Amino acid sequence: MEVQSLTRFARISAFKAREVTRAIQGLPALQAIDVVTFSPKKAAELVGRTLKSAIANAENNNNLRVQNLVVKEAVVGEGPTLKRFQPKARGSAGPIRKRTSHIKITLAEVEQA
């Protein structure tokens, strides 16, 4: 059985968030929480929040045990970009792109032998 959790419009670029999701992909859920907890990146907090939500979904909605869960898929897609401008020299303006991302984590149940 698979369980998903999705965080939409996270205020971080997808490029920065993908670095954290690559580190947890394929790990057991409890070990993935440890990796995210001790990572110094801002993306780790956002990915950790999504991971904990996926674990809570598995426990409450599907009665799965945390010890049997594995991070099957951790994907970060690009969200909409907020476009702003900053004043520059001689009356011109330079663009500022405030990027957002969508974080999706899928957990799968693996039977322990």
Q: How confident is the model at residue 113 (pLDDT cuts 50, 70, 90)?
A: low
Over residues 21-78, the pLDDT tens digits come to 999 999 999 999 999 999 999 999 999 999 999 999 999 999 999 999 999 999 999 9
Answer yes or no: is pLDDT of 109 > 70: yes
Percentage of the chain beyond pLDDT 90 is 96
> What's the pLDDT score for residue 111?
80
The rounded distance, in Å, linking the Cα atoms of 78 and 113 is: 39
Tokens (6 digits) for 25: 């992909």
Residue 45 neighbours by CB under 8 Å, 6+ apart: 36
> What's the pLDDT score for residue 49?
97
Mean local confidence (pLDDT), 87-103: 97
The residue extents of the domains of the chain are 2-109
**pTM of the full predicted structure?**
0.91
Tokens (6 digits) for 58: 């598995």
Is 55 within 8 Å of 107 (Cβ atoms)? yes
Spell out the CATH class of 2-109.
alpha beta
